[in-house]
Amino acid sequence: MVDVFTPAKRSEIMAGIRSCRNERTELRLIRLFRIERIAGWRRRQKIFGMPDFVFPASKIAVFVDGCFWHGCPSCKRGPKSNQDFWHRKFAKNRRRDRTVTRTLQKNGWRVVRIWEHSLKDGAVRQLSQLKRLLEETRATKRRLPRR
Ligand SMILES: [Zn+2]
């Protein structure tokens, strides 16, 4: 993959993302994958931006965005004190999310972002985009001529 960042910038991005990782949320998503019979995922692959899950065969990257750290607009769970500091921090996180998404897309990945709060509701609906993408890949592969 072509790396568009300096090593320093890149490690800053990676470190920031790792610190926001939420083990419990990942396990919740794994449970949903099982319920929905979604297979072919790998966890914590060393891919730019450290997606929570990737589907290597379909080149799909899945991120579970923590509502707090990623400044979810529907939860608005912002801290009460030091609001300026936190707003800047959340804005920075969101910028980084966009950079990661765009970089992956430029490299042929399709990116699915799932809000943490939607997993709490057990909302299987959140997986519909992912399922559609997985089906598209399978359909494309069927259309390819055999060698
Ligand atoms: Zn939220």
SS3 55: strand
Tell me if the pTM is above 0.75. yes
Distance 84 CA to ligand 1 centre (A): 20
Distance 102 CA to ligand 1 centre (A): 22
- Asked if pLDDT for residue 1 goes beyond 50, the answer is no
At CB < 8 A and 24+ separation, what contacts does 89-97 make?
Answer: 93/16, 93/20, 93/69, 94/70, 96/13, 96/16, 96/17, 97/63, 97/65, 97/70
Distance 113 CA to ligand 1 centre (A): 12
Distance 93 CA to ligand 1 centre (A): 14
Q: What percent of the chain has pLDDT over 70?
A: 76
Lookup: tokens for 127: 């997986």
Q: Which region, left, alpha or beta, applies to residue 142 given φ > 0 means left and ψ of -120 to 50 means alpha?
A: alpha
SS3 113: strand
Contact criterion met (CB below 8 Å) for 114 and 65: yes
Distance 69 CA to ligand 1 centre (A): 10
Distance 77 CA to ligand 1 centre (A): 8
Express each pLDDT in 73-114 by its tens digit: 888 666 778 888 888 888 999 999 999 999 999 999 999 998
